[in-house]
């Protein structure tokens, strides 16, 4: 078996060049798209609506969304609002924000599932409620990001149908 030599990394720029190579980027992009691009069963939004994501979204918008407005942030620059203009650029920016939010909430959801199972197995019922609340909040936040991303992809597809020069490069 022939061994492959490891590249010699002289500094940060060499490492950046290796990480920025086309093959690495395409593999990373394929993996992230595989996870983040809405699946066929998610595109309609019915699954998430049946699970109660819309009332949760109203709750989030009525609390954190309002707090965001009170702090003086503009709706068009916010990660909570798509913005007045349904341009490809604003939709893509919103889609990236859903990915970032999901990167926070999905691991926390998994953590709270683990902690809840562990506490139930060890009969630690005093913290089951706290971990259950953490699971519900982060689980619904994760579902909300996936629901919003499916809506963004549907909107981008409709924009592409209306204007063939606009393409969804997702």
> What is the CA angle 43-38-95, rounded to 5?
105
Share of the chain above pLDDT 70, in %: 74
Quote the pLDDT of residue 56. Answer: 95
The average confidence (pLDDT) of the chain is: 82
Find the distance separating the first CA and the last CA of the chain, reported in whole Å.
39
Quote the pLDDT of residue 162. Answer: 84
Least confident window among 13-27, 58-72, 79-93: 13-27
- Over residues 60-85, mean pLDDT: 69
Give Cβ neighbours of residue 80 (< 8 Å, ≥ 6 apart): 60, 61, 64, 65, 68
Q: Which residue has the higher pLDDT, 59 or 166?
A: 59
Q: What is the pTM of this model?
A: 0.74
- How far apart (Å, rounded) are the C-alpha atoms in residues 154 and 129? 37
* CB contact at 8 A, 86 and 155: yes
């Amino acid at each position: 078996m022939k061994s492959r030599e490891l590249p010699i990394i002289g500094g940060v720029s060499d490492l950046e060049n290796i990480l920025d190579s086309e093959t690495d980027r395409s593999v990373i992009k394929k993996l992230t798209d595989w996870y983040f691009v809405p699946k066929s069963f998610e595109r309609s939004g019915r699954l998430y609506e049946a699970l109660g994501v819309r009332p949760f979204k109203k709750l989030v918008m009525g609390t954190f969304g309002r707090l965001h407005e009170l702090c003086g942030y503009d709706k068009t620059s916010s990660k909570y609002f798509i913005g007045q203009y349904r341009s490809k650029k604003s939709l893509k920016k919103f889609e990236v924000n859903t990915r970032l939010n999901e990167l926070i909430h999905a691991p926390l959801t998994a953590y709270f599932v683990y902690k809840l199972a562990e506490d139930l197995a060890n009969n630690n019922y005093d913290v089951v409620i706290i971990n259950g609340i953490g699971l519900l909040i982060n689980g619904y936040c994760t579902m909300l990001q996936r629901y919003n991303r499916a809506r963004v992809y549907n909107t981008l597809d409709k924009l592409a149908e209306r204007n063939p020069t606009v393409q969804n490069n997702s």
